[in-house]
Amino acid sequence: MTTIYLIRHSKIFKVNNELNSDNFQVQNEKLSLSIEGELLAQNKMSNPIFNNIDRIYSSSYVRAIQTAKYLAEKHNLEINVISDLGERKFGISSLNELPENFGRKQFLDENYKIGDGESRLEVSARMFSTITTILNENKGKNIAIVSHGTAISYLLKKWCDIELINDKLRYCFNDKILLHGHIDNCMAFKLEFDDNNEIINIENIDR
């Protein structure tokens, strides 16, 4: 059995990018953790459930690497950075261009996207492909992956039953509730796979 701990990055530090000439995608990738986020990441990564990590992966976003570094330091391991573990690309130049209810539209329609951004189907496909490669390279090991809220939720949709209840999405695996609402900062999911990369179990270790 191979175990993956799929972790959302910690809390970001918000900045004013009105004078920033970088495009929105670059600005998003450069966002760093707040002081509160650093403390949260350090505390969460000290959880004994992460005591036997064999390998660490992270998206290329700054906030993900900054979160993963606490696991890397704890285990004296390097962080393997993979860009395909990154957050969904919006396809906009500024937040003002984001259509109303964009997130809901994209979740309901797997092909919906704007500009050169990504659809839910595209995000899910690259995340699943990357996870499959990681599984093939790490049979029988314990793996930590730091990624992003939307990217993780789109991946989980592959295995989970999802209902809209009280205007919040509820994720269930084998009739067990994993999540009702959004994925919080540093929230972690434990995914167990058999030798054929078939999912056996999913747990939200923060519930």
> Is 5:143 a contact under the CB 8 Å cutoff?
yes
| CA distance linking residue 146 with residue 144, whole number of Å | 7
| CA distance linking residue 125 with residue 44, whole number of Å | 28
Number of domains in the chain: 1
Quote the pLDDT of residue 91. 87
Quote the pLDDT of residue 166. 82
Quote the pLDDT of residue 18. 83
Mean pLDDT by 10 residues, the chain (207 residues): 98 90 91 97 95 97 98 96 96 83 86 92 97 97 97 95 86 92 95 96 91
Q: How far is CA 60 from CA 39, 45, 115, 137, 147, in A?
A: 21, 19, 22, 20, 9
Looking at residue 94, which CATH number applies to its domain? 3.40.50.1240
Residue 162 phi, psi (nearest 5) = -125, 130
Q: Checking phi first, is residue 109 left (phi over 0); if not, alpha (psi -120 to 50) or beta?
A: beta
